[in-house]
Structure formats: structure tokens, C-alpha cells
Amino acid sequence: MTDIIRLGVNIDHVATVRNARDALHPDPVAIAKLAIEAGADGITAHLREDRRHIRDEDVERLMAEIDRPLNLEMAATDEMLAIALRLKPHAACIVPEKREERTTEGGLDVVGQKAQVAPVVKELVAAGIRVSLFVEPHDEALEQAALMDAPVVELHTGSWCEALASGETERAKRELDRLAAGAIRAAKLGLEVHAGHGLDYDSAETISRLPELAELNIGHYLVGEALAVGFPETIRLMKAAMARGRRRVAA
Ligand SMILES: CC(=O)[C@@H](O)[C@H](O)COP(=O)(O)O
Ligand SMILES: NCC(=O)COP(=O)(O)O
């Protein structure tokens, strides 16, 4: 088990608010710095093809101005590969992307899209970028990730969080069991295991109990909570929730 579980703060939806007015405020880079001061272990940003939130200049500024690892979420396209190879973030998480979706629906189809994803993984790894694949906790996806020599997988927690939010207790239990089994399988394959999407304080605390998890990436909930208590306090509360989950494992 990894003793600590890192928090990667996703700042996409700070940019969503900024872009609502096509203005300069709020500045996702300034908020990233606040998050780091408050204890964020890294920053995550998703440069979507349609640039609906994070824009190219945000990623450039994050690279220049923050002193924590940047995890760039990106589709496996030539355009994104060129940007990642030019900027060389600490990590790149390859995610599925559909222009018409409201948010990232489901994990990357690493088996069906092997021909598109494998060369991107290879080039990023060769450039010294730590690659993760954002996948569902299915054995085939995890095995394919290992075959592609991706060092990390991020398990998509969206279905579990949806089931929790809609009060579907049985489905939530099944989804959590699936995530737990996926984390064990991924670790056995030698992959570092991350998780994220739709997490809040409670779900982050619960999932932090999975001993294989090394990192959670959380954004939308933190940005929403920050409206009530401020960004630094939100980060502190999230880190405390994750630490409580981890202590339950150690106990
Ligand atoms: C891949 C992922 O889960 C994150 O990028 C997060 O969902 C924020 O981005 P979107 O809301 O645009 O999906
Ligand atoms: N990869 C998941 C992520 O970065 C954050 O997802 P969300 O908390 O914004 O749903």
C-alpha cells in the first residue's frame, strides 16, 4: 500500500466560469497556485479539442508558473500529441473525448482504439512523460494498458458517483466492488493506480480506503464547494477526507 494518497486538483471549471464572460477572471493559474499553497500535490487540466474550458495559453502558463507536477488530460490525437511533446508536462492522461458530450463519459476504449492509442503512449513515454490511461475498471482495459507499457491507469469513478448521487445503493455497491477489483488487478499488472471523476468529500474518503490508489484527481466538486468556503479551505477539507479514508486502511 502507498502510505500517502496524492490529490491532483483539476482546475478546468475555474476556466469554465472565466469563459462564461470570455474574460480574464477567475484565472485558473492563480487558483492552481492557491490550491498548491493549500496542499494540492499536483494540478490537472484537460485541454479539450473544443477548448471549452482550459485553453492553450493556460497550459503554457501552468508549465511556466506552477511548482507542482502538471497532469495534462488529452485525447489521443495528433494535435494533442504535438502540444504535449512541445510542452512536456510531468504527466499526460489520455482520455476519451466526444465533442457533443457534457463531460467525459466512460473510460477510454483501449482495446477497440489500440491502433490510435498505442503510438501516442509510445511517443509520450519516449519523451519522458508519465502516461496514464483513463479507463473503466475492466480486466481487458487494464491488461491492454499494461501491454501498451503505460505506467499508470486512472480508474473512471463516474458511474459509482452517479449511483451514489441518485441513491441507487445496490448499484453503488456493485460499482465500488468493480473499482476495488480493478485497482487490485491493475496493481498486480504493475500499474500505478489513480482514480477520479465526480468525486466529493464522502466518495473521496471512501475510495481512499483502496490501498492500491496512489492519486485522486478531483475538480468539479472542489470548484463548486469553493463558492461556499473558498478554494484553500476546500482543498484542506478534501485532503482531510482522503487522509481519514487512508487511516481506516492502516487501522
Ligand atoms: C477527464 C475528466 O474526467 C476531467 O477532465 C473532468 O471531467 C473535467 O473535464 P470535463 O468536465 O470537461 O469532462
Ligand atoms: N480525471 C478526473 C478529473 O480530473 C476530475 O474530474 P471531476 O472531479 O471534475 O469530475
Give the predicted TM-score (pTM) of the model: 0.97
As a whole-number percent, the residues of the chain with pLDDT over 90 amount to 92
Q: What tens digit of pLDDT does each residue of 59-73 get?
A: 999 999 999 999 999
One-letter amino acid of 57: E
One-letter amino acid of 37: E
pLDDT confidence of residue 2: 61
In the predicted model, is pLDDT for residue 154 greater than 90? Answer: yes
pLDDT confidence of residue 100: 76
- Ligand 2, closest atom to CA 196? 2
Q: Which residues are annotated as a binding site for 3-amino-2-oxopropyl phosphate?
A: 10, 21, 198, 219-220
Residue 227 corresponds to which cell in the numbers above? 463558492
Nearest-CA residue for ligand 1 atom 5 is 46
pLDDT confidence of residue 14: 98
pLDDT confidence of residue 216: 98
- Which of these is catalytic: 46, 192, 205, 212? 46
- Ligand 1, closest atom to CA 197? 3
> What does the alpha-carbon distance between residue 18 and residue 77 come to, in Å, rounded to a whole number?
26
In sign, the C-alpha dihedral spanning 223, 247, 195, 44 is: positive
- Ligand 2, closest atom to CA 71? 4
* CB burial readout 145-179, b (16+ within 10 A) else e: bbebebbbbbbbbbbbbebbeeeeeeebeebbebb
Nearest-CA residue for ligand 2 atom 6 is 197
Segment (H or E) for 227: helix 220-229
Residue 251 corresponds to which cell in the numbers above? 487501522
What's the 24 CA to ligand 2 centre distance in angstroms? Answer: 23
In CATH, what class is 75-250? alpha beta
Average pLDDT over residues 231-240: 97
ipTM of the complex: 0.96
pLDDT confidence of residue 99: 75
- Which of these is catalytic: 136, 197, 212, 215? 197
129, 9, 16, 152 alpha-carbon torsion, rounded to 10°: 40
Q: What tens digit of pLDDT does each residue of 163-213 get?
A: 999 999 999 999 999 999 999 999 999 999 999 999 999 999 999 999 999
pLDDT band at 1 (very low <50, low <70, confident <90, very high): low
Segment (H or E) for 10: strand 6-10
